[in-house]
Amino acid sequence: MMMDQLKVIQMTMQKIPGEPAGGPDPLGRDILPLKDITSLLALEKRLREEADLQNKMITALSVIGGLDVKDCVWRVMKHCFTNSLAKQLNWRGINGKTAFHRLQLKDVITDFS
Protein backbone atom coordinates (compact mmCIF):
# COMPACT_ATOMS: atom_id res chain seq x y z
CA MET A 1 0.00 0.00 0.00
CA MET A 2 2.82 2.41 0.82
CA MET A 3 4.48 1.76 -2.55
CA ASP A 4 1.21 2.52 -4.35
CA GLN A 5 0.90 5.80 -2.47
CA LEU A 6 4.51 6.65 -3.26
CA LYS A 7 3.94 6.00 -6.98
CA VAL A 8 0.86 8.24 -6.95
CA ILE A 9 2.83 11.02 -5.25
CA GLN A 10 5.71 10.66 -7.73
CA MET A 11 3.36 10.78 -10.71
CA THR A 12 1.64 13.85 -9.28
CA MET A 13 4.94 15.63 -8.63
CA GLN A 14 6.17 14.94 -12.17
CA LYS A 15 3.10 16.64 -13.61
CA ILE A 16 3.75 19.90 -11.73
CA PRO A 17 5.35 22.41 -14.12
CA GLY A 18 8.03 24.81 -13.04
CA GLU A 19 11.70 25.09 -12.34
CA PRO A 20 13.77 22.33 -10.80
CA ALA A 21 14.37 22.58 -7.07
CA GLY A 22 17.91 23.81 -7.72
CA GLY A 23 16.70 26.95 -9.52
CA PRO A 24 16.33 27.81 -13.19
CA ASP A 25 17.23 25.41 -15.98
CA PRO A 26 21.04 25.63 -16.29
CA LEU A 27 20.89 25.02 -20.05
CA GLY A 28 18.20 27.47 -21.01
CA ARG A 29 15.19 26.42 -23.03
CA ASP A 30 16.77 26.70 -26.47
CA ILE A 31 19.08 23.65 -26.50
CA LEU A 32 16.69 20.74 -25.96
CA PRO A 33 14.89 18.99 -27.50
CA LEU A 34 17.14 18.60 -30.51
CA LYS A 35 15.14 18.82 -33.71
CA ASP A 36 17.50 17.67 -36.47
CA ILE A 37 20.93 16.20 -37.20
CA THR A 38 22.41 19.68 -37.65
CA SER A 39 21.45 20.72 -34.13
CA LEU A 40 22.70 17.37 -32.79
CA LEU A 41 26.09 17.84 -34.43
CA ALA A 42 26.27 21.43 -33.15
CA LEU A 43 25.59 20.22 -29.60
CA GLU A 44 28.20 17.47 -30.01
CA LYS A 45 30.76 20.11 -31.01
CA ARG A 46 29.83 22.27 -28.01
CA LEU A 47 30.14 19.28 -25.67
CA ARG A 48 33.69 18.68 -26.92
CA GLU A 49 34.68 22.36 -26.69
CA GLU A 50 32.93 23.54 -23.51
CA ALA A 51 34.12 21.70 -20.44
CA ASP A 52 31.26 22.74 -18.16
CA LEU A 53 28.41 22.10 -20.64
CA GLN A 54 28.46 18.35 -19.98
CA ASN A 55 28.08 18.92 -16.23
CA LYS A 56 25.26 21.42 -16.82
CA MET A 57 23.44 18.92 -19.01
CA ILE A 58 23.87 16.13 -16.45
CA THR A 59 22.42 18.43 -13.79
CA ALA A 60 19.48 19.43 -15.99
CA LEU A 61 18.65 15.85 -17.00
CA SER A 62 19.03 14.40 -13.52
CA VAL A 63 15.94 16.26 -12.27
CA ILE A 64 13.65 14.68 -14.88
CA GLY A 65 13.31 11.40 -13.00
CA GLY A 66 10.82 8.61 -13.48
CA LEU A 67 9.05 5.81 -11.68
CA ASP A 68 11.67 3.22 -12.65
CA VAL A 69 14.73 2.99 -14.90
CA LYS A 70 12.69 2.40 -18.05
CA ASP A 71 10.41 5.37 -17.35
CA CYS A 72 13.42 7.56 -16.56
CA VAL A 73 15.16 6.64 -19.83
CA TRP A 74 12.01 7.26 -21.87
CA ARG A 75 11.47 10.65 -20.23
CA VAL A 76 15.08 11.76 -20.73
CA MET A 77 15.15 10.65 -24.37
CA LYS A 78 11.85 12.43 -25.01
CA HIS A 79 13.33 15.55 -23.41
CA CYS A 80 16.48 15.34 -25.57
CA PHE A 81 15.11 14.46 -29.02
CA THR A 82 12.06 15.19 -31.12
CA ASN A 83 10.44 12.13 -32.69
CA SER A 84 11.68 13.13 -36.15
CA LEU A 85 15.30 13.21 -34.96
CA ALA A 86 14.96 10.03 -32.90
CA LYS A 87 13.87 8.18 -36.04
CA GLN A 88 17.23 9.08 -37.62
CA LEU A 89 19.27 7.48 -34.80
CA ASN A 90 20.02 3.97 -33.68
CA TRP A 91 22.65 2.45 -31.41
CA ARG A 92 25.08 1.17 -34.06
CA GLY A 93 24.33 3.53 -36.94
CA ILE A 94 23.17 0.89 -39.39
CA ASN A 95 20.84 1.50 -42.34
CA GLY A 96 22.21 5.00 -42.91
CA LYS A 97 21.29 6.27 -39.47
CA THR A 98 23.50 8.13 -37.00
CA ALA A 99 25.23 5.93 -34.41
CA PHE A 100 24.05 6.90 -30.93
CA HIS A 101 26.83 4.99 -29.14
CA ARG A 102 29.47 7.32 -30.61
CA LEU A 103 27.84 10.54 -29.41
CA GLN A 104 29.03 12.65 -26.49
CA LEU A 105 25.36 13.05 -25.62
CA LYS A 106 25.20 9.30 -24.93
CA ASP A 107 27.80 9.81 -22.20
CA VAL A 108 25.79 12.68 -20.73
CA ILE A 109 22.61 10.60 -20.66
CA THR A 110 24.29 7.55 -19.11
CA ASP A 111 26.27 9.59 -16.56
CA PHE A 112 23.33 11.32 -14.91
CA SER A 113 21.87 8.08 -13.58
What is the predicted pLDDT for the residue at 30?
A: 75
Percent of the chain with pLDDT over 90: 51
Using 50, 70 and 90 to split pLDDT, how confident is the model at 15? low
Distant-in-sequence, close-in-space partners of 41: CB < 8 Å, separation ≥ 6: none
Structural domain for 74, as ranges? 64-113
- 62 closest CA partner among 20, 106, 9: 20
Asked whether residue 94 is domain-assigned, the answer is: yes
Asked whether residue 59 is domain-assigned, the answer is: no
pLDDT tens track for 72-99: 889 999 999 999 999 999 999 999 999 9
Helix, strand, coil shares, percent, the chain, to 5: 60, 5, 35
Strand partners, 81: 34
pLDDT tens track for 50-70: 989 999 998 888 888 888 888
Q: Residue type for 21, please?
A: A
Distant-in-sequence, close-in-space partners of 3: CB < 8 Å, separation ≥ 6: none
Using 50, 70 and 90 to split pLDDT, how confident is the model at 23? low
- Total domains, the chain: 1
- 33 closest CA partner among 73, 85, 94, 70: 85
